[in-house]
């Protein structure tokens, strides 16, 4: 674990893998932290220097007044790369992390080698969904986070997976209960306000879009929209709900590795 000093606080990160390998940045979903990628690290570090970080408002990273924006969160990634003297990297983000990946692809493509966006959309939800959640979290704080944790099992995993892997489901959803309420609400604002539907054509780096067949949070239709609007984008879909990296496990990891090592442009 380490941290870099941003203008307004510290961003927590972890580096694993060979120091001379290409860097792969992993960006967490709303309400989790860098440990949501734990199951990918053994496979990924065979090929990459894996850079995980806690998005602003999550884990051990800074919590600043909200609402945040995806642009702000994307600039945090660029500041992290600059601080670690990383000129270009692969980037893989899930859900909110996928929004950050889209922003980077649109606005900072020269810093990316290849881009993977998972269980995401160019626009996720509406203010009618996000505003009541933000109000509830800021009003009820820790009690609201526990309630969101309990509800998230059905959104993040299919029933068969949650029943077969209760410890794994609990490990991931407990991250939500421990997320700072102000940080969570501020990030909800970032997701609420993001809309890249008209900008996707600006993504020129090689792109892989991953979806979960049973994902009710960001259904495959949103992933297919991204794929169809980015020239040459690849698409993969797994039997999973919202956290396909956890539920699909090795199959997810191998598809990402295959894409990142591919010579096709």
pLDDT digits (tens, 9 = 90+) for 202-222: 999 999 999 999 999 999 999
Query: Is the CATH number of domain 2-261 3.40.50.2000?
Result: no
Confidence of residue 118 (pLDDT cuts 50, 70, 90): very high
CB 11 within 8 A of CB 77: no
Confidence of residue 237 (pLDDT cuts 50, 70, 90): very high
What per-residue confidence (pLDDT) applies to 263? 82
pTM: 0.98
3-state secondary structure at position 234: strand
Q: What is the length of the chain?
A: 265
Please calculate the CA angle 35-36-42 and round it to the nearest 5 degrees: 75
């Amino acid at each position: 674990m380490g941290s870099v000093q941003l203008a307004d606080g510290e961003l927590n990160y972890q580096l694993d893998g060979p120091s001379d390998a290409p860097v792969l940045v992993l960006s967490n979903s709303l309400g989790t932290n860098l440990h949501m990628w734990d199951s990918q690290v053994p496979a990924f570090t065979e090929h990459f220097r894996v850079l995980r970080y806690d998005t602003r408002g999550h884990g051990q990273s800074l919590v600043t007044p909200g609402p945040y924006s995806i642009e702000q969160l994307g600039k945090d990634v660029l500041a992290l790369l600059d601080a670690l003297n990383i000129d270009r990297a692969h980037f893989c983000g899930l859900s909110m992390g996928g929004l950050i990946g889209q922003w980077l692809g649109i606005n900072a493509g020269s810093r990316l080698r290849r881009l993977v966006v998972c269980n995401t959309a160019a626009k996720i939800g509406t203010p009618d969904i996000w505003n009541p959640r933000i109000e509830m979290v800021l009003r009820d704080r820790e009690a609201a986070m526990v309630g969101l944790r309990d509800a998230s099992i059905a959104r993040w995993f299919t029933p068969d997976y949650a029943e077969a892997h209760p410890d794994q489901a609990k490990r991931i959803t407990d991250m939500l209960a421990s997320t700072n309420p102000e940080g969570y609400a501020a990030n909800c604002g970032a997701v609420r306000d993001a809309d890249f539907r008209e900008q996707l054509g600006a993504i020129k780096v090689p792109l892989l879009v991953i979806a979960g067949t049973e994902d009710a949070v960001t259904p495959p239709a949103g992933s297919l929209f991204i794929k169809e609007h980015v020239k040459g984008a690849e698409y993969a879909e797994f039997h999973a709900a919202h956290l396909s990296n956890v539920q699909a496990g090795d199959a997810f990891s191998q598809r990402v590795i295959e894409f990142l090592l591919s010579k096709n442009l």
